[in-house]
Amino acid sequence: MAPPITLTIAGSDCSSGAGIQADLKTFSHHRCHGLTALTCVVAETPEKVESIHPVPPTVLQEQVEILLNTYPVDAIKTGILYSKAHLVAIVEILSNSPTIPLVVDPVMVATSGSTLVNKNAIETYRERLLPLATLITPNMPEASVILDRPIETKDDLEPAAKELARLYNTSVLLKGGHLPGNDDRLDILWHEGKAHHFTAPKIDIACTHGTGCTLSAAITAHLAKGANMVDAVTTSVDWVHSAILNSFKWHSPSGNTIHCLNHLHSASSQG
């Protein structure tokens, strides 16, 4: 049988830890055929973002249109959408495909702390893209930007997830990886009026570059295969935790330690 088809609309990460490269590795592990529409080319590593080079919005639109006209796409995810023009280009197309599950990872701030979108893109996220989503997967800084208020503690997470779900009539997975201290990490899914808490021990590594991309791609793959939302998120959160726990580690020429999610370990251990 032919595998389910997943589409990622995202940026290219030359270090292959995030963006479309991470999405494709994730789709392949979950036995989906991954399609890609490139939004920008990012010169980055887990340590920093050097530069971002956007693809012209018309070229982005052409990529998505030809893919949706050619393939029976089962689920879509978005990653970095650099500007208002890129968001509008995508919204114009996705508005015509309301039955395809859409996972919006509102990529605004890199793990390194670098800002990844233009300021004029934020309102377009709020007004046009988030209302189309089946699920949105913000981290704490991104939720703070969307809601325009601080999301800083464990007690902030559930009310924020609930508010986002109400505002945009969607499910919300609010990721708590930025919580301070050494307590267990906490992610909260708000789905159909109920909160689901996911906890795991915090892993003490220098960098978790690409975890958000990888998690949203895994959820997209499970939705493409027909999983319900709670099962898709539960399985994906566990899988990403395993990939972090078994990260690759190298020493850069400058002597810094570089980590990369170990998709290979996850693939070999989970089939």
**Model-level pTM?**
0.94
Q: Which residues are catalytic?
A: 175, 208, 210-213
Q: Taking residues 126-155, what's their average pLDDT?
A: 94
CATH class given for the domain over 5-270: alpha beta
pLDDT in tens, 198-214: 998 887 776 678 899 99
pLDDT at 173: 98
pLDDT in tens, 12-28: 999 998 999 999 999 99
- The structure tokens listed for 134 are 């089946």
pLDDT greater than 70 at residue 269: no
pLDDT at 137: 98
pLDDT in tens, 225-251: 999 999 999 999 999 988 888 888 888
**CA distances in angstroms from 270 to 31, 184, 249, listed in the order given:** 12, 24, 21
Q: Transcribe 136-205 into DSSP letters.
A: E--BHHHHHHHHTS---SHHHHHHHHHHHHHHHTSEEEEE-TT-SSSSPEEEEEEETTEEEEEEEPPP--
pLDDT at 110: 59
- The structure tokens listed for 232 are 């898709």
pLDDT at 81: 93
Q: Which helix (H) or strand (E) holds 43?
A: strand 33-44
pLDDT in tens, 38-80: 999 999 988 888 999 999 999 999 999 999 999 999 999 999 9
pLDDT at 182: 63
pLDDT at 116: 66
